[in-house]
Amino acid sequence: MSAASTSSYDVIIAGGGITGLTLACALNRTGLRIAVIDQHEPRAFAKDYALRVSAINRASLEVFTAVGAFEHMRRLRVSAFREMHVWDSTGVGQIHFDSAELGLDTLGYIIENNVIQLALLDRVQQSETTDWLCPAEIESLAISEEMKQVRLTDGRMLTARLIVGADGTNSVVRKAMGIELVRKPYQQRAIVCTVATEYEHQLTAWQCFLPSGPLALLPLADGSCSIVWSLDETRVEQMMALDDAAFAEQLGEAFEYRLGSVKMVSARAAFPLGHGHVDRYVQQGLALIGDAAHNIHPLAGQGANLGIMDAACLADVVADASRVQRQWSALHTLRKYERSRKGDNRLMETTMTGFKYLFGNDNPFLTEIRNIGLNVVDHAGPIKQMLINQALGGH
Ligand SMILES: Cc1cc2nc3c(=O)[nH]c(=O)nc-3n(C[C@H](O)[C@H](O)[C@H](O)COP(=O)(O)OP(=O)(O)OC[C@H]3O[C@@H](n4cnc5c(N)ncnc54)[C@H](O)[C@@H]3O)c2cc1C
């Protein structure tokens, strides 16, 4: 494509993160002409674990399997987790989920974000109807009833019947739609890194609720763990400034030495946390998916899973309409996607904010409530089943 030329597609997907690439793969069956645009290639696969990993639930795994990408992820590197152990550091409340009790082999997999992207991108690059435009940055959109147009910073213009914003929290597509994501900061950041612990992780995802914020240790296939430790801004600054030995000591103590001492720590990174949800996901010829539409706290590891479900649902709606030659980019068609996803996404955002508040302080009354609550849930079959169903992605 030469500079300043205009290319026409049926669908333009702005953003080749996890959700944008999932959508591109899921739409491949329609035969529509698709462009996926991203400013960065996914990070190359490396011997050391990437710092960004996601706990991927069973519903998302089904989507990855259906689009033919999961086997590739497996060949690169995935880490199964069979159990989940959640407890409150200020009391005796705890809850335990075991895949064996559910008749399942795993509860899900911990997968590096770049491994997910690389496997999905491989499918995209094998598609004869999809173009991967990267590196390419979207500068602006021109939207009218008749035409939807994307301008790239290098001057190229693309037009399509449907433009999907999968371009994350600061979505350019969302702004062009005039839709606001009121993102409320939690005044916290999440520190992520890979650690080795004295004792084995037992293929268990461990989560400890501390008054200062949740701390998760996620099991990796080589025996190490990926951590996500949410803390207030000032504590994050202090923790990031520590040398590796002092950080490992603080981490082990915060985790109550459940896996013994922390013996090795990789490089660390910290990500700001916030939550928010748009009021509308769709307009005529336009749709938002993933973090472009909703942000949630990572404490239950659900953000990417919700985005993957958005992508699968939007692809189904478009594919169904296109198969029977209905107007697949029309507002009334896209509304089906919005109706089907908005409730689930809002429920998850509200639940995570509630959890964050309930567990994120040491008020004695709330401490008592949550300890009783966790233990009641752990012994109450139906409620526990409901929670586990939600964590598995509705299975
Ligand atoms: C610490 C942490 C831990 C997490 N753990 C989990 C977990 O265990 N499980 C889980 O399900 N979720 C988890 N999440 C959430 C998850 O990471 C996100 O929800 C998910 O990555 C969002 O994917 P996305 O594709 O919607 O957006 P993004 O990942 O933000 O992708 C957007 C893409 O669009 C591109 N882009 C943006 N603007 C432009 C532009 N103008 N031009 C071209 N390209 C553009 C970007 O380069 C990017 O590749 C976690 C989040 C954090 C912060």
Reading the chain (395 residues) residue by residue, the pLDDT tens digits are 444 578 999 999 999 999 999 999 999 999 999 999 999 999 999 999 999 999 999 999 999 999 999 999 999 999 999 999 989 888 767 888 899 988 999 999 999 999 999 999 999 999 999 999 999 999 999 999 878 999 999 999 999 999 999 999 999 999 999 999 988 878 899 999 999 999 999 999 999 989 889 999 999 999 999 999 999 999 999 999 999 999 999 999 999 999 999 998 899 999 999 889 999 999 999 999 999 999 988 877 789 999 999 999 999 999 999 999 999 999 999 999 999 999 888 887 776 666 655 656 566 555 665 666 666 666 656 656 666 666 677 64
CA of 18 to the centre of ligand 1 (A): 7
Q: Of 360, 371, 92, give the one whose Cα is nearest residue 210.
A: 360
What are the C-alpha distances in Å from 321 to residues 36, 315, 316, 354, 373?
21, 10, 9, 38, 45
Residue 320 pLDDT: 98
Taking phi first (over 0 means left), then psi (-120 to 50 degrees means alpha), and beta for anything else, what does residue 11 get?
Answer: beta
Ligand 1 proximity of 393 Cβ (cutoff 6 Å): no
Residue 1 pLDDT: 47
Residue 145 pLDDT: 83
Distance CA 360, CA 322 (A): 47
Q: Of 326, 393, 323, give the one whose Cα is nearest residue 27.
A: 323
Phi, then psi, of 287 in degrees rounded to 5: -150, 150
Q: Of 256, 301, 297, 300, give the one whose Cα is nearest residue 92.
A: 256
**Coil, strand, or helix at residue 178?**
coil
Residue 344 pLDDT: 86
Ligand 1 proximity of 137 Cβ (cutoff 6 Å): yes
Q: What residue owns the CA closest to ligand 1's atom 17?
A: 304
**Coil, strand, or helix at residue 264?**
strand
Q: What residue owns the CA closest to ligand 1's atom 9?
A: 301
Distance CA 164, CA 36 (A): 10
Q: pTM of this prediction?
A: 0.93
In single-letter form, the type of residue at position 309 comes to M
Ligand 1 proximity of 117 Cβ (cutoff 6 Å): no
CA of 273 to the centre of ligand 1 (A): 12
What are the C-alpha distances in Å from 188 to residues 41, 147, 195, 229, 231?
28, 41, 21, 10, 5
Ligand 1 proximity of 213 Cβ (cutoff 6 Å): no
At residue 349's C-alpha, the angle toward residues 348 and 352, to 5°, is 80
B/e letters for 184-208, b = 16+ CB within 10 Å, e = fewer, are eebebbbbbbbbbbeeebebbbbbb
- The helix or strand, by DSSP H or E, that contains position 87, with its residue range, turns out to be strand 83-88
CA of 168 to the centre of ligand 1 (A): 6
In single-letter form, the type of residue at position 321 comes to A
Residue 353 pLDDT: 65
The token duo for 243 is 């040398």
The token duo for 82 is 């069979």
Taking only the tens place, the pLDDT of each residue in 150-170 is: 999 999 999 999 999 999 999
Distance CA 179, CA 175 (A): 6
Q: Are 218 and 97 in contact (CB under 8 A)?
A: no
Ligand 1 proximity of 41 Cβ (cutoff 6 Å): no
